[in-house]
């Protein structure tokens, strides 16, 4: 028996996926993801999304690099301030 009231897990997943990919702030979400600054549920959501979404998965290395260089700039600025 199929009830239209019951959302399948797949439907919920597709919705979450659209929310991530359709999100104009997806870049900052990914950035927070690689720096580990997201709350655990969000972190898990992005991680699950990355397994199925090639577009976001391809963005990940760039985000990692960006996070690294951002960190470096912060450290340099902190050092130059003294
Ligand atoms: Zn995606």
Enumerate residues 6+ apart whose C-beta is below 8 A from 27.
59, 63
pLDDT in the model for residue 8:
85
Q: For residue 77, how far is its CA from the centre of ligand 1 (angstroms)?
A: 33
Give the Cα-Cα-Cα angle 23, 31, 33 (nearest 5 degrees).
90
pLDDT in the model for residue 39:
92
CA 75 to chain centre: 24
pLDDT in the model for residue 1:
61
Q: For residue 70, how far is its CA from the centre of ligand 1 (angstroms)?
A: 23
pLDDT in the model for residue 40:
93
Q: For residue 39, how far is its CA from the centre of ligand 1 (angstroms)?
A: 18
User: What is the value of pTM for the model shown?
Assistant: 0.62
Ligand 1 (single-atom ion) residues, CB below 5 Å: 21, 53, 55-56
pLDDT in the model for residue 81:
59
Query: Could you tell me if 50 and 57 are in contact, meaning their C-beta atoms sit under 8 angstroms apart?
Result: yes
Listed as ranges, residues in the chain with pLDDT below 50 are: none
pLDDT in the model for residue 49:
85
* Domain span including residue 30: 3-80
Q: For residue 60, how far is its CA from the centre of ligand 1 (angstroms)?
A: 10
User: How many structural domains are present in the chain?
Assistant: 1
């Amino acid at each position: 028996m199929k009830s239209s009231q019951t959302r399948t897990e797949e439907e919920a997943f597709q919705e979450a996926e659209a929310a991530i990919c359709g999100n104009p702030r997806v870049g900052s979400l990914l950035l927070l993801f690689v720096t580990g600054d997201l709350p655990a549920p969000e972190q898990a959501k992005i991680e699950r999304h990355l397994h199925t979404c090639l577009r976001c998965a391809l963005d990940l290395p760039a985000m990692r690099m960006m996070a690294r260089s951002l960190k470096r700039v912060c450290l340099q600025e902190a050092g130059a301030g003294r």
